[in-house]
Structure 1
Amino acid sequence: MNFIDYYKILGIDKKATASDIKKAYRKQARKYHPDLNPKDADAKKNFQQINEANAVLSDPEKRKKYDKYGKDWQHADHFENTKQYQEQSSGFSGREYSQAHSGRDFSDFFESMFGGSTNTGRSRQVKFRGEDYYAKFQLKLTDAYKPHQQTLSVNGKNIRITIPAGIENGQTIKISAHGGTGINGGPNGDLYITFSIAIHPGIKRLGNDLYTHVDLELYTAVLGGEITIDTLSGKVKLKVKAETQNGSKVKLKGKGFPVYKKEGQFGDLYITYVIKIPTHLTEKQKGLFAELSKS
């Protein structure tokens, strides 16, 4: 696996604090978000690398391993365990062991430990499972409404996944065997993707139910009538009762968000009417309202 300098990606140095990392991540994420760079072919790749860098550097334990082992940080636990075993079986002290392997790349060390000619038959057969990878992925509310395919770039490899409709904000799904490569023929680790659903400017989601506000003309509120509104599933016609009050609520059953992995099941859509007071009235119109107020 090629080395990726996470500090360089976020534009910080190794002395950066947790607060520095958080600020740098937000700045870079805004700069390279695919939605803000539709003409930049590399925007999605850059955005994913930014998320990957943040996932590692914002986690104290992962950052410690990354700082110590570089590109092999995912195998840090395996390295430490195997180093301890080798020390015990060879009689090396920790200091002697470090001196014996000083100046060597950890990848070279793994190779000599598991595949080199100096290993015993027993050590050559030791297999280790690959490291699990963790990633964050942001979706629009409209993207999470329908199942769709997405291509992710993980350590230079493209992975095509199908994201089910109705996925929750903060929900994590596992993609088996798409984590770190196993050592010495061991199984690959898994990839865990945590989804972040962006806030929609006009719709609020609570579970599988949706909430929105709809402007209503004063005349329609008073006299009643029919209006057309936009929902995530398309346009819907609504009949408005006469004398509808400001803040009145109506429920559209089955027009909410799809239930995760339950095809054909949906939550409800709750609409709150906001009555618009007319402005820029003519003298004649004001007169009519004056007459109405006297009646």
Structure 2
Amino acid sequence: MTYIDYYKILGINKKATENDIKKAYRKMARKYHPDLNPDDKEAERKFKEINEANEVLSNPENRKKYDKYGKDWKHAEEFEKAQQQQHHRGRRQRGPGQYSEEDFSDFFSSMFGGGSARSQRRNVQFRGQDYNAELQLELEDVYRTHKRTLTVNGKNIRLTIPAGVKNGQVIKIKGHGGEGINDGPRGDLNIKFSISNHSKFKRDKDNLYTTIDLDLYKALLGGEVVIDTFDGKVKLKVKPETKNLTKVKLKGKGFPVYKKEGQFGDLYITYQIKTPTNLSDKEKELIKELAKLR
């Protein structure tokens, strides 16, 4: 395996912070994204390298292994375990301080192919590395179950995203991580959801909250208002003499409950009464008459 300088790929140095890595990755990913560079094989290759570099350097544990073992960082745990085993075996067979290069070469041969019959007998399967990815979505994106394609290490993976996923939630996709060693099982793909909310609703677990303006006359006399929800428009009756900051609940009009089809939270609406401005002379006279009656 050829050594790949992940720091150089992202245009940063080894002292870069996690924030530096994140900024560099986003900048490079935008530049070489396939959607912006259609039919550009070189851009596609660079995009794969950028994703691979970010996969390693954005994970503190992976970065530590990479800094220590270079191109062999994926096998760091196996290397260290093998060294410990060979250390104890060497002490029993040769005494303290006596080691054979063959002890270590057998292990490396068993992992990467070739080697003596002795090493072939000791071939050990190792599970592949887990991959970690972050998927950025809008709140309205996770109101309904839908499919989406995610690019991880240059490979496109088609995912079904369940309705009701929460911000920061991690979903594990088994068998979509790194390849195993010596025909060992593949690792898993862990997807962390980063959900932004630019809607007029505030989400709290499965409930939604919003504030709507209500004109003074409708608050006093009653009437109807039309409310926007993620599931369409709803007509709502306003009671006469509704007070400012009155709260009403629309049952089942909140957010879907994760992995419980057909179950929803509630939508809470707060009325904010708007005082009329730019009154005409006639309106002022009528209000004065009303004030006298009160």
Q: Same fold (TM over 0.5)?
A: yes
Match of 1:76 in 2: 76
Answer yes or no: is 1:263 the counterpart of 2:261. Answer: yes
Gaps of 5+ in 1: 102-108
Superposed CA deviations along residues 176-226 of structure 1, whole A, max 9, x for unmatched, are 011111001111111111212213341111111111111111111111111
Question: What is the correspondence of 1:10-49 to structure 2 with a 5 Å cutoff?
Answer: 11-16=11-16, 20-22=17-19, 25=22, 29=26, 40=36
Instruction: Kindly indicate whether the alpha-carbon contact (under 8 Å) linking 1:145 and 1:257 is maintained by their aligned counterparts in 2.
Output: yes
Task: Report the residue type matching 1:280 in the other structure.
Answer: N
Report the Cα distance in structure 1 between the residues aligned to 2:153 and 2:249, rounded to whole angstroms: 46
Report the Cα distance in structure 2 between the residues aligned to 1:49 and 1:223, rounded to whole angstroms: 65
Superposed CA deviations along residues 27-52 of structure 1, whole A, max 9, x for unmatched, are 86489689xx9x74689x99998887
The change in CA–CA distance for 1:229 and 1:31 in structure 2 (over 3 A counts) is: farther
Per the TM alignment, residue 119 of structure 1 is displaced from its structure 2 partner at its CA by: 5.6
Match of 2:127 in 1: 129
Match of 1:106 in 2: none
Report the Cα distance in structure 2 between the residues aligned to 1:111 and 1:217, rounded to whole angstroms: 79
The change in CA–CA distance for 1:70 and 1:153 in structure 2 (over 3 A counts) is: farther
Per the TM alignment, residue 94 of structure 1 is displaced from its structure 2 partner at its CA by: 11
Instruction: Kindly indicate whether the alpha-carbon contact (under 8 Å) linking 1:153 and 1:159 is maintained by their aligned counterparts in 2.
Output: yes
The change in CA–CA distance for 1:13 and 1:166 in structure 2 (over 3 A counts) is: same
Match of 1:275 in 2: 273
Match of 1:185 in 2: 183
Superposed CA deviations along residues 75-121 of structure 1, whole A, max 9, x for unmatched, are 32123223444566677979986xx98xxxxxxx9567441134632
Report the Cα distance in structure 2 between the residues aligned to 1:238 and 1:206, rounded to whole angstroms: 22
Question: What is the correspondence of 1:1-295 to structure 2 with a 5 Å cutoff?
Answer: 6-8=6-8, 11-16=11-16, 20-22=17-19, 25=22, 29=26, 40=36, 56-85=56-85, 113-118=111-116, 120=118, 121-123=120-122, 125-295=123-293
Report the Cα distance in structure 2 between the residues aligned to 1:23 and 1:279, rounded to whole angstroms: 50
Report the Cα distance in structure 2 between the residues aligned to 1:3 and 1:278, rounded to whole angstroms: 70
Report the Cα distance in structure 2 between the residues aligned to 1:47 and 1:272, rounded to whole angstroms: 47
Instruction: Kindly indicate whether the alpha-carbon contact (under 8 Å) linking 2:136 and 2:196 is maintained by their aligned counterparts in 1.
Output: yes
Task: Report the residue type matching 2:154 in the other structure.
Answer: G
Report the Cα distance in structure 2 between the residues aligned to 1:186 and 1:151, rounded to whole angstroms: 27
Report the Cα distance in structure 2 between the residues aligned to 1:224 and 1:55, rounded to whole angstroms: 58
Per mean C-alpha deviation after superposition, the further-off stretch among 66-75 and 238-247 is: 66-75
For 2:236, what is the secondary structure of its paired residue? strand
For 1:143, what is the secondary structure of its paired residue? helix
TM-score (norm 2): 0.79
CA RMSD of aligned residues (A): 3.7
Gaps of 5+ in 2: none
Report the Cα distance in structure 2 between the residues aligned to 1:136 and 1:54, rounded to whole angstroms: 11
Report the Cα distance in structure 1 between the residues aligned to 2:51 and 2:227, rounded to whole angstroms: 37
Instruction: Kindly indicate whether the alpha-carbon contact (under 8 Å) linking 1:259 and 1:265 is maintained by their aligned counterparts in 2.
Output: yes
Report the Cα distance in structure 2 between the residues aligned to 1:194 and 1:174, rounded to whole angstroms: 9
Task: Report the residue type matching 1:192 in the other structure.
Answer: N
The change in CA–CA distance for 1:227 and 1:6 in structure 2 (over 3 A counts) is: farther
Report the Cα distance in structure 2 between the residues aligned to 1:46 and 1:228, rounded to whole angstroms: 50
Residue-pair matches, total: 280
Report the Cα distance in structure 2 between the residues aligned to 1:270 and 1:262, rounded to whole angstroms: 21
Counting aligned pairs with the same residue, the percent is: 59
